[in-house]
Amino acid sequence: MKKLAFETKLVHADRKINKPQHGAVHESTNNSVLFEFEDVQDLVDVFQGKKMGHVYSRSSSSSAVSLQNVLNELENGVGAIVFATGMAAISATFLSLLQSGDHIIVSQYLFGNTRSFMANIERFGINVSYVDVTDVNEVIAVCKPNTKMVFCETIANPVTQVTDLQGIGDFCDSKNIIFALDNTMTPSVLLDAKAVNASLLLTSLTKYIGGHGNVLGGVLIDTGLFDWSRFSNIDDIYRVADLSQWGLTQVKKRGLRDMGATLAPQSAHMVSIGLETLTMRLRKTCVNAQALAKYLQTHKGVNAVYYPGLQDHPQHERAQALFKRGFGGILSLELSEGIDSHAFLNALSLVISATHLGDTRTLALPAASTIFYENGAAERAKMGIADSLIRISLGIEEIDDILADFDQAFKQVLSV
C-alpha cells in the first residue's frame, strides 16, 4: 500500500487492506452486536487480547476496523480508533491518558465545544493553560515538569490563526510531551502531520472526511512518533508487548470500551463513502475559498477578511510551508460599519445559514452570537472574534454562483 498515491489509496485501501469477504469491494455493514466462537478458547483469547477478533461491537466491529485501517494508512500511523463523534474521540482520549494532577497546554483558539470540554477536565483536577499557539515561545513559557500534553488545532476556527506546528512539534519531541493535534481543518490531503512531529491526531470525521453533512464520527490516530515508555500514565495492564500500541490500547479500553461512544457500523460505512472523494472535494473547496477571499478583500462592504491564503494574513508564509495543496475551506469576514450581519446573511440565497463546516455546500453563520456565545465577550476578544464576524465554510459549488450570491446580497444591504 505504501507505494500508492494518496488519491489512489482513498478508493482502493478498503479492499486492499481489509480483504472483504465474497470479493466485495467495500467492507460490508455488519450490524451484529455479538460474535460467535466455535471453540470457547478462541473467545477467551480474543477477550485477553491474545488473538484478533470481535467479541462485542461496543469495542469493535468489522465496519469500524475497516475504516480505522484506512484512516491510519492515509496518515501513515501505527493505529487508529474511531468514535461516534469528533468530541467523543477528543474526550475519550483526554480522559484515558490524563489524570488528576497533570498539567496540559492548549490553544486559546480552540473549537468552542473542545474549549468547554476543557472546563470539564479542570473540574477533575487537570490543570490547563491556554496560550496563543501561533508562537511556540508561549508554550515554552508555561511548560512545567508535570506537563503531559500540548493540544491545538492546525488552523483556528473562525479567525484562521495558523499554529506554529513545527515549533511546537519539535519542542514536544525534545521534552517527551505528547503533541495532540486536531487536524479537522486540514486532513492529510493538506498537511503531513508526521512532518511536524504530531504524536496523536484527533479528527472530526463529520467535517471534510464524511463531507456530506449526513453522518457524525471521530477518530484518534497514533502517528507512532511518541515514545510511550516515557509516559508515566500508562497502566501496567496496558503495557502490552508492542510498545507502539500502549497509548492506543489504554484509550481503546478506558475510552471506548468503558465510556462507550462507539461509531455505529452504518455510520462507519457512510464515512468511508465520503472519504473516497476527499481530495477532489477539498481541492475544490480550497480553490473556492481562495477566490471568495480575494473577492471580499477589495469589496467596499467588507472591513476585514481572514484567510491564510491571502498575502496579508499574519501567518501566510507559515501556511505556505505547511499546507502544500491549499489553505483550507474556512474564511471569515467583518462587514463594513453600518451593515447588519443578520440582514446580510438573510440576503444570501444560495449560501446556507447553518452551523457546520466541511460540507459540500457553502455555509455561513454569525460566529459571536452562536458557536462562541457561551465563551463570553472577554474570551471572544482574546480569540479575535468581533461581534460582527461571519464565518464561511466553502463548499464545492461553481465559484461564479457563490460570487453572484454574495454580489446580490451586498447589493441588497448596501442599497438600504
In the complex, the smallest distance separating the C-beta of residue 204 from ligand PLP, rounded to whole angstroms, is 3
In the complex, the smallest distance separating the C-beta of residue 44 from ligand PLP, rounded to whole angstroms, is 36
| Residue 202: closest CA among 129, 117, 131, 144 | 117
| Residue 265: closest CA among 33, 11, 2 | 33
Neighbour count for residue 46 (Cβ, 10 Å): 18
Angstrom distance (rounded) from CA 46 to CA 302: 60
Starting at the edge strand that comes first in sequence, how are the strands of the sheet with 352-353 ordered? 302-306, 330-335, 390-393, 363-366, 352-353
In the complex, the smallest distance separating the C-beta of residue 207 from ligand PLP, rounded to whole angstroms, is 6
Radius of gyration of the chain (CA): 22
Q: Give yes or no for residue 86 binding ligand PLP (CB under 6 A).
A: yes
The 89-128 contact track toward ligand PLP, x by CB under 6 A, reads ----------------------x--x--------------
- Pick the piece of the chain touching ligand PLP (CB under 6 A) from 5-13, 81-89, 219-227, 252-260: 81-89
Name the phi and psi angles at 306, rounded to 5.
Answer: -115, 110
In the complex, the smallest distance separating the C-beta of residue 354 from ligand PLP, rounded to whole angstroms, is 13
Q: From the list 18, 134, 204, 223, which residue makes contact with ligand PLP (rule: CB under 6 A)?
A: 204
C-alpha cell at 124: 477533575
Cβ proximity to ligand PLP: between 176 and 266 the closer is: 266
Q: Following DSSP, what letter does each residue of 204-270 receive, concatenated?
A: EIIIIIT-SSS---EEEEE-S-S-GGG-TTS-GGG--SSGGGHHHHHIIIIIIITT--PPPHHHHHH
The 238-277 contact track toward ligand PLP, x by CB under 6 A, reads ----------------------------------------
Q: Give yes or no for residue 207 binding ligand PLP (CB under 6 A).
A: yes
In the complex, the smallest distance separating the C-beta of residue 122 from ligand PLP, rounded to whole angstroms, is 18
Cβ proximity to ligand PLP: between 9 and 115 the closer is: 115
CB 85 within 8 A of CB 219: no
What's the number of CA atoms in the CB half-sphere (13 Å) around residue 275?
32
Q: From the list 182, 222, 276, 359, which residue makes contact with ligand PLP (rule: CB under 6 A)?
A: 182
Q: Residue count at the site for ligand PLP (CB under 6 A)? A: 15
In the complex, the smallest distance separating the C-beta of residue 87 from ligand PLP, rounded to whole angstroms, is 4
In the complex, the smallest distance separating the C-beta of residue 157 from ligand PLP, rounded to whole angstroms, is 6
Q: Give yes or no for residue 85 binding ligand PLP (CB under 6 A).
A: yes
Cβ proximity to ligand PLP: between 85 and 249 the closer is: 85
Please, what is the end-to-end C-alpha distance for the chain in angstroms? 59
- Pick the piece of the chain touching ligand PLP (CB under 6 A) from 74-82, 204-212, 219-227, 313-321: 204-212
Q: Give yes or no for residue 216 binding ligand PLP (CB under 6 A).
A: yes
Q: Give yes or no for residue 218 binding ligand PLP (CB under 6 A).
A: yes
Footprint on residues 122-181 left by ligand PLP (CB under 6 A): 153, 157
Task: List interacting residues with ligand PLP (CB under 6 A).
Answer: 85-87, 111, 114, 153, 157, 182, 184-185, 204, 206-207, 216, 218
